[in-house]
Amino acid sequence: MHKTDIDLVDMTMDVMKYVIDRLSSTKQKIGKPKKEEELKALVGETITENGIGGERAFKLWKKHLTKCNVPIDHPRHLAFVPASPTRAAVMFDLVTSASSIHGAYWMEGAGGIFCENEAMRWIVSLTGLPEDAFGVFTSGGTAANLSAIVTAREYWRSLKERNNLEKGLIITSIGAHSSIKAMAKVADIDVLLVDTEDKLEKEALEVTIKNLPIQQRQRLFAVVGTGGTTNAGIVDDLEGIAAICEKENLWFHVDAAYGGGALVADSVRHLFNGIEKADSITIDPHKWMFSPYDCGAVIYRNPELAKNAHSQQGSYLDIFKDEGAHGFNPTDYQIQLTRRVRGLPLWFSLATHGTDRYKEAVERGIELAQIAGRLIKENPNVELVREPSLSCVLYRRIGWDSDDYTHWTYENHEKGFALVTPTKWKQGDSYETVSRFCFINPDTTENDIDLILKSME
C-alpha cells in the first residue's frame, strides 16, 4: 500500500496541472451541491473490500464530485469571507503534506517550525506588539479565539484564589464573530454583548462595565474587540478599548481573523491603532494573507501565559521538553497537540514574492470595495447601506424583500456565474436583509462587479 505507484504519480501531476490552471479563474464554473442520494447514484460504491482502484476513484472525483464544490477563490465568489491562495502557497501545501512533518515539537519538526516562525515574525511585526510577543499557527480563527480566551481565563484564575470558584465573564459586541460566543461556551464562560453592530466605542464599553452588578464585575476578566467585523468590515475603537482594559485590569483580545491582513495596507493601517496594546490577537492567513485552508494564527503579548494554559504534560512527552530537544514547541501555545505545519505554505509564498506583493494584493481588495461603492452609487436600482469598510460592501436592491435576495443568490449559483449571499444589517431594533460583497481575490475585476449588479435588474 505504501509502494510508489508511477501511474498514481502521473495522475496526480495531471490533476495538479488542471487545478492550478483554474486557480482564481473564471474559466471554472462555481460548483453547486447535489443531494447525497444523487451523488451516490452517480458514483456508486467507492469503499469496498478490494478497492475500486486509484484511476477509477480519480475519474469519479473529476467527473462528478469536484463539480459539487464552490471554488472559493473564484473571482465572482464574494460571499462570506472568500480566499485566494497564491500558486506558490498551494504548491508548497503539497510539499507540506508530502513531507510528513509533526509540527508539535521542535525536536521532530525544527525545519518546518523554523519556517513557520519566520512567517510569524512578519505577522507579529505588522501588529506593533513588543519584541517578546509571539504566536503560533492554528487551524483557523475559531481555534485561535479559543486558545486566547482560555489563556486569558487561566491567567485571571492565577491572580486570585477565589477566581477559581467563579465562572468567568467576557464582554464583546454583537458585531463580534459567532465563534466568540461558540468558544466561550466550550470554555464555560459567560458573554455579555454590547448592543451595537457598528464600531464598539470606548464610552459604550465604559458604561457597560460601570453598570455591572458587583458580582458580575468580579467575574469579568476580558474584552474582545473586533479588527474588521465579518459582516461589515468595521474595526472597533481598539485604542479606546485598550485604555479601558488597562484601567480596569482586563485582558484585551482582538479578533482580526478577517481584517488582520489589512494591517499591511498603508491606506487603512490607522484604523487598527491600539492593536499594539492587545494581550492577544487572532489573524487568519487563510482569509486575507492568501494561504490555503486551513491556516489561522494566535499571537500573545506574553507567550509564557499561553504556555501556562496549554502546555500538555505526560511522561511520553517529557523527552520533548528536555534541554537536548530545546526549541520552540508550537503545541504549548494553543489547544492542539499533533499538528500540521500549516504555516509552511505561507512562509514559502512570502519568501517567493516578498511582503510588498502582499501589500499590493491587500490594497487591491480595499480598492475593489471602493470601486463597488462607486458602481452602486451610479446604479439607480441599488444603494449603499453604509460606506464600504475594509473590503466589505453592504448594499440594498431598492424594492426587494428577503425572498428576492434569496432567489437571486440561488439563480446566480445555479448558473455557476457568481456566489453573492444576503445578510442582515441591524439598526436600532430592526434587521434589514441586504446584499454583501467581501473582496479578497485581487483577480476580481470591475467588470465582474458590474455583471453581478446588472444581474439584479
Ligand X SMILES: *Cc1c(COP(=O)(O)O)cnc(C)c1O
Binders of ligand X among residues 331 to 390 (CB under 6 A) are none
Binders of ligand X among residues 158 to 187 (CB under 6 A) are 177, 179
**Dist. CA 251–CA 224, nearest whole Å:** 8
> CB of 299: closest distance to ligand X in angstroms?
14
**Dist. CA 420–CA 77, nearest whole Å:** 6
> CB of 81: closest distance to ligand X in angstroms?
6
**Dist. CA 435–CA 394, nearest whole Å:** 6
Residue 437 found at the interface with ligand X (CB under 6 A): no
Per the CB < 8 A criterion, the answer to whether 256 and 145 are in contact is no
Per the CB < 8 A criterion, the answer to whether 134 and 113 are in contact is no
Q: Quick one: 181 or 357, whose CB is closer to ligand X?
A: 181
Q: Quick one: 138 or 444, whose CB is closer to ligand X?
A: 138
Range list of β-strands (E), 16-92: none
> CB of 305: closest distance to ligand X in angstroms?
21
| Helix, coil or strand: residue 224 | strand
- Look up residue 363 and give its amino acid: E
**Dist. CA 435–CA 174, nearest whole Å:** 19
> CB of 381: closest distance to ligand X in angstroms?
29
Instruction: For Cα atoms 93, 98, 99, give the angle at the middle one, nearest 5 degrees.
Output: 100
Residue 142 found at the interface with ligand X (CB under 6 A): yes
Within 8 A by CB and 6+ apart from 203, the residues are 240
From 138-146, 161-169, 202-210, 308-316, give the range in contact with ligand X by CB under 6 A. Answer: 138-146
* Sheet strand arrangement including 251-255: 134-138, 296-300, 280-283, 251-255, 220-226, 169-173, 190-194
Binders of ligand X among residues 63 to 82 (CB under 6 A) are 81
> CB of 356: closest distance to ligand X in angstroms?
25
Q: Quick one: 177 or 397, whose CB is closer to ligand X?
A: 177
Instruction: For Cα atoms 272, 186, 312, give the angle at the middle one, nearest 5 degrees.
Output: 90
- Which region holds residue 44: left if phi is over 0, alpha if psi is between -120 and 50, else beta? left
**Dist. CA 65–CA 33, nearest whole Å:** 9
From 17-25, 134-142, 308-316, 417-425, give the range in contact with ligand X by CB under 6 A. Answer: 134-142
> CB of 29: closest distance to ligand X in angstroms?
25
From 59-67, 136-144, 148-156, 396-404, give the range in contact with ligand X by CB under 6 A. Answer: 136-144
Q: Quick one: 440 or 453, whose CB is closer to ligand X?
A: 440
Residues 242-281: x where in contact with ligand X by CB under 6 A, - otherwise, as a string: -------------x-xx-----------------------
Residue 141 found at the interface with ligand X (CB under 6 A): yes
> CB of 224: closest distance to ligand X in angstroms?
10
Binders of ligand X among residues 278 to 297 (CB under 6 A) are 284, 296
Per the CB < 8 A criterion, the answer to whether 29 and 71 are in contact is no
Q: Quick one: 72 or 375, whose CB is closer to ligand X?
A: 72
Among the listed residues 301, 176, 171, the one whose alpha carbon sits nearest the alpha carbon of residue 228: 176
Binding-site residue total for ligand X (CB under 6 A)?
Answer: 14
Per the CB < 8 A criterion, the answer to whether 456 and 204 are in contact is no
From 20-28, 137-145, 146-154, 363-371, give the range in contact with ligand X by CB under 6 A. Answer: 137-145
Among 140, 225, 274, 303, contact with ligand X (rule: CB under 6 A)? 140
| Helix, coil or strand: residue 298 | strand
Binders of ligand X among residues 205 to 244 (CB under 6 A) are 226, 230
> CB of 101: closest distance to ligand X in angstroms?
22
> CB of 102: closest distance to ligand X in angstroms?
22
Within 8 A by CB and 6+ apart from 323, the residues are none
> CB of 131: closest distance to ligand X in angstroms?
27
Q: Quick one: 242 or 254, whose CB is closer to ligand X?
A: 254
Q: Quick one: 65 or 187, whose CB is closer to ligand X?
A: 187
DSSP 65: I
**Dist. CA 303–CA 298, nearest whole Å:** 10
List of residues contacting ligand X (CB under 6 A): 81, 140-142, 145, 177, 179, 226, 230, 255, 257-258, 284, 296
